[in-house]
Amino acid sequence: MNNKDIQENRVRSFFIESTKSTIKGEGIKAVSARNIAKDAGYSYATIYNYFTDLKELFTFCIADFIVECRDFVNNAKHPDKASKESFISKSKALCNYFIQYPGIFELIFTEQMVEVRYNEKISADIDLLYNSIFGDEYKRLSKKRDVDISIISELHRSVITGLLSKYLLRRTPSDYREFMLILEQCIKYI
Amino acid sequence: MNNKDIQENRVRSFFIESTKSTIKGEGIKAVSARNIAKDAGYSYATIYNYFTDLKELFTFCIADFIVECRDFVNNAKHPDKASKESFISKSKALCNYFIQYPGIFELIFTEQMVEVRYNEKISADIDLLYNSIFGDEYKRLSKKRDVDISIISELHRSVITGLLSKYLLRRTPSDYREFMLILEQCIKYI
DNA sequence: AAATATAATTAACACTGTTAATATATGCAA
DNA sequence: TTGCATATATTAACAGTGTTAATTATATTT
């Protein structure tokens, strides 16, 4: 990578970091080309010298957040062996990440802030996220219940997304403890 | 209800119908105050004589769509007795409604087009929707698996929302038949 | 130092939701 | 029917959005 590319990537990362911190701090509604650029110390039009549009910029943020989420979950303490308890513990940690930063959940799972052409890559990244966190748990359940592992993972992933969507967007249930209780019972049921 | 109220409700419904048909036809991105008003045969500012803002208008649309969805599912043929088959059949019908009109799914489940103060009412409406369609199936499963009925319904509802969100927003799986297969196996597993 | 290439900026366009001021239509009393 | 008051609808305007083109500033090379 030559100097020009290094500098280009650096400026690009200024915009990405600015966007990420705005999403984490003030939420997705506070994100705009003007805001991002001001935070990054550039003019708003400069963004378009480094990204084709905001959607491409958001796509980079999503990739970063997915990595961050994986680290967040893996750095938390969980039962060593794959078990019902580890499944619950990791699921709770995953949810806690998005509850801490609702804007990240909106960005990845609800807002249509992403170009169709990136959908496949993002989907693959999320697949990887879930498999790297819950791979052992999926295997265990797949054997135990004699069900295809892909169904277990689809089911688990859907439940998490669905519950989070209801809790973060509709604020139902209204209470954090109650949400965690429902989550726990749903995972137990699976 | 006096004449004034009748007329007011009539004009209100003009805007609601215009919004609903735009969402169904061109999708949520085509919805704007100017577009809605033009379709309804009024100026854009007239909307604000009948609704406090667009979010209130959207909330009325959501209420209508939920009723429409219930009718859509109930008018389809399903096995008479509550069974695994009826559970799958109804779940598929429900998904088909939103697959037919992706804009309606976006409106209700993903876009933040609704004021916080309406969240409780909408949540309750969706609860009612699911319970009126799947009430018998929930009861049956609750007895069979000896699990609280609220967990069954939360789980089922989350799975549907999660799968639809992935399919409609991320276009994963890319194929309709495959989506229905995954849905069926998830319901079977539950 | 001058010429060229690169990067960043401002101005502008076509949108958005929303509000205030203005115009139009309606109902009613004289 | 006319004049007035009220209710309703419209246009103008504001502050914001994403994005592009034209312009200015900066850096590089000759």
Is there a single domain that holds both residue A106 and residue A156? yes
pLDDT of residue A153: 97
Closest chain B residue to the Cα of A105, Cα to Cα: B110
Distance B132 CA to D3 C1' (A): 59
Q: Is A154 on the interface with B (CB under 8 A)?
A: yes
pLDDT of residue B7: 86
> Nearest nucleotide by C1' from A8 CA?
C7
Which residue among A34, A51, A68 closes a domain? A51
Of A13-17, A111-115, B49-53, B77-81, the one with minimum mean pLDDT is: A111-115
Q: Which has the closest alpha carbon to A156: A118, A176, A121, A129?
A: A129
What is the C-alpha separation between A68 and A66, in angstroms, rounded? Answer: 5
Is there a single domain that holds both residue B63 and residue B33? no
Is there a single domain that holds both residue A4 and residue A72? no
Is there a single domain that holds both residue B59 and residue B47? no
Closest chain B residue to the Cα of A125, Cα to Cα: B170
Q: HEC states along B57-108?
A: HHHHHHHHHHHHHHHHHHHCCCCCCCCHHHHHHHHHHHHHHHHHCHHHHHHH
pLDDT of residue B137: 97
* Domains identified in chain B, total number: 2
The C-alpha angle with vertex B30 and arms to B28 and B33, in degrees rounded to 5, equals: 100
Across the range B136-145, mean pLDDT stands at 96
Is there a single domain that holds both residue B60 and residue B30? no
pLDDT of residue A81: 94
Contacts of B166 in chain A (CB under 8 A): 123, 157-158, 161
A111 neighbors A28 (Cβ within 8 angstroms) = yes
Nearest 10 degrees: Cα torsion B119, B122, B126, B132: 140
Is there a single domain that holds both residue B86 and residue B42? no
User: How many whole angstroms from its chain centre is CA B99?
Assistant: 11
Residue nearest to nucleotide D21 (CA to C1'): A45
pLDDT of residue A5: 81
Question: Looking at residue A169, which CATH number applies to its domain?
Answer: 1.10.357.10
How many Cα atoms are found within 13 Å in the side-chain-facing hemisphere of B136? 13
Is there a single domain that holds both residue B22 and residue B33? yes
Is there a single domain that holds both residue A177 and residue A108? yes
- Residue among A66, A145, A166 with most chain B CBs within 10 A, to mutate: A166
Which residue among A12, A34, A51 closes a domain? A51
Across the range B126-139, mean pLDDT stands at 97
Of B7-11, B112-116, B174-178, the one with minimum mean pLDDT is: B112-116
> Nearest nucleotide by C1' from B55 CA?
C17
Which residue among B34, B51, B68 closes a domain? B51
Q: How far is A144 from chain B (nearest CA, A)?
A: 13
Contacts of A29 in chain B (CB under 8 A): 112
Tell me how crowded residue A91 is: count the other CB atoms within 10 A of its CB: 24
Burial of B90 (0-12, 13-18, 19+ CB in 10 A): buried
User: How many whole angstroms from its chain centre is CA A113?
Assistant: 14
Closest chain B residue to the Cα of A150, Cα to Cα: B182
User: How many whole angstroms from its chain centre is CA B184?
Assistant: 20
Residues of chain A where predicted confidence (pLDDT) is lower than 70: 1
Is there a single domain that holds both residue B97 and residue B20? no
A79 neighbors A61 (Cβ within 8 angstroms) = no
Q: How far is A117 from chain B (nearest CA, A)?
A: 10
Is there a single domain that holds both residue B79 and residue B171? yes
pLDDT of residue A71: 98
- Measured between alpha carbons, how far apart are the two ends of chain B, in Å? 48
Is there a single domain that holds both residue A141 and residue A124? yes
Interface of A with B in 81-100 (CB under 8 A): none
Q: What is the DSSP string of B20-57?
A: HHHHHHT-GGG--HHHHHHHHTS-GGGHHHH-SSHHHH
Across the range B94-103, mean pLDDT stands at 98
pLDDT of residue B62: 97
Question: Looking at residue B26, which CATH number applies to its domain?
Answer: 1.10.10
Contacts of B190 in chain A (CB under 8 A): 155, 189
Residue B102 pLDDT exceeds 70 = yes
Q: Provide the residue range defining the domain that includes A155.
A: 54-189
Distance B14 CA to C14 C1' (A): 27
Residue B1 pLDDT exceeds 70 = no
Query: What counts of helices (H) and strands (E) characterise chain B?
Result: 9, 0
Contacts of A171 in chain B (CB under 8 A): 116, 119
Is there a single domain that holds both residue B23 and residue B110? no
pLDDT of residue A1: 55
